Amino acid sequence: METTETLRIGLPSENKWLALPDEECEKLAAGGWQLVRELLPPMPGQTESDEAVIARLEFLKEIIREVGPVSFKEAIKRAIRISDYRSNVTIKKLRECAGLSVAPPKTPTAEAWELVTRVVRYHVVRDPVGGYALLPRLYIDLQQGFTVEPVPQISSAVEKAVGAIGGWLNLREAYLGGYWGQKFVQWREIYRP
């Protein structure tokens, strides 16, 4: 029997379960939700509209396409085991039980800030005349010895925003000085991808 980890190798777009016919996904989703409805009581006074059921089945089909039928059924069982009411079996809980990420997708602003943070931490170096240089990072990897990490590609939008909030050296000083959060607030206001 395959483990759940074996079924989820690769990105969802590479997953073999994407090829399942929609009717089969619909049947699996409906069967999974019916099991939840039969085994868990509703919260007192709570009902689910037809529109909510239709939306729930669409979300369940997405999970099936990402993890496959076997892992989906296991996720349903796990969710039932840890829930008191059927309203506790949320899409988020089912995604977690299936081993899928429930983190919201990163915004372009957040992704760019992660790049800026990496550059400031590892690549901004003060030069002898008080300026700065963006240099490759040299570090020791216990298995590979010395490793060189080149300076990442920096877009013009990132360069422009960095300049608007003080430049690379200013950001490095903010990072070391403990007011990095304030720079992020400025970044969110200024950066435009």
Question: What is the pTM for the complete model shown?
Answer: 0.53
Q: What is the largest CA-CA distance in the chain?
A: 73
- The confidence band for 17, taking pLDDT boundaries of 50, 70 and 90, is low
Q: What is the pLDDT of residues 151-163, one digit of tens each?
A: 999 999 999 999 9
Q: What is the pLDDT of residues 73-107, one digit of tens each?
A: 999 999 999 999 999 999 999 999 999 988 888 89
- The confidence band for 45, taking pLDDT boundaries of 50, 70 and 90, is confident
